[in-house]
Amino acid sequence: MADLKDVKPTVTVDARGTYCPGPLMELIKEMRQQPVGSIVELISGDAGSAKDVPEWLAKVHQEFMGVIEEQGYWRIFSKKVKDM
């Protein structure tokens, strides 16, 4: 698999500095509206997202591609592998 840093996301959701409705909710919204095959990059300033997102993806049988920790924020990559 290609290095995560080289992945070109279909869409990037920057949820930093948002207190409502929260990074995971933004990801859920985006995953539902993007077509199968899309890669969604979620940028979150909340450390909890790096844990919440993979857990949710596992529950709904979508692919967690990985996370890149930057200074003070996290880039979390997900792939929509089936309809939802």
Partner 1 sequence: MSKRVVVVGGGVGGTIIANLLAKKMRQELKKGELVIDVVSDKPEHLYQPGLLYVLFGLKQHEELVRNERDLLDPMVELHLHPAVKIDKDKNEVHLKNGAVLKYDIVVLATGCRPAPEMIKGLKEGGHWFYEYDACLKLRHELMNFKGGKIVLTIGMPHKCPVAPLEVSYMLDDWFRQRGVRDKVEYTYTYPIGRLHGLEPVAHFAAKTFPKHGIKSETLFNMKEVDVNKKTVTSLEGSTLNYDILITIPPHKGAQVIEDSGLGQNGFVPTDKFTLKMEGSNNVYVVGDTTNLPISKAGSTAHFESDIIVENICSELREGLTPFRYDGKVFCFIETGMSSATYIMFNYTTPPSPVTPSALIHWFKLTYNKVYWLTPKGIL
Closer CB to partner 1, 81 or 84, in the complex: 84
CB of 72 to partner 1, least distance (A): 13
Closer CB to partner 1, 1 or 20, in the complex: 20
When binding is defined by CB under 8 A, the residue of 4, 7, 28, 50 that contacts partner 1 is: 28
Q: Give CA–CA dist 46/36, Å, rounded.
A: 27
CB of 1 to partner 1, least distance (A): 25
19 CB burial (10 A radius; 0-12, 13-18, 19+): exposed
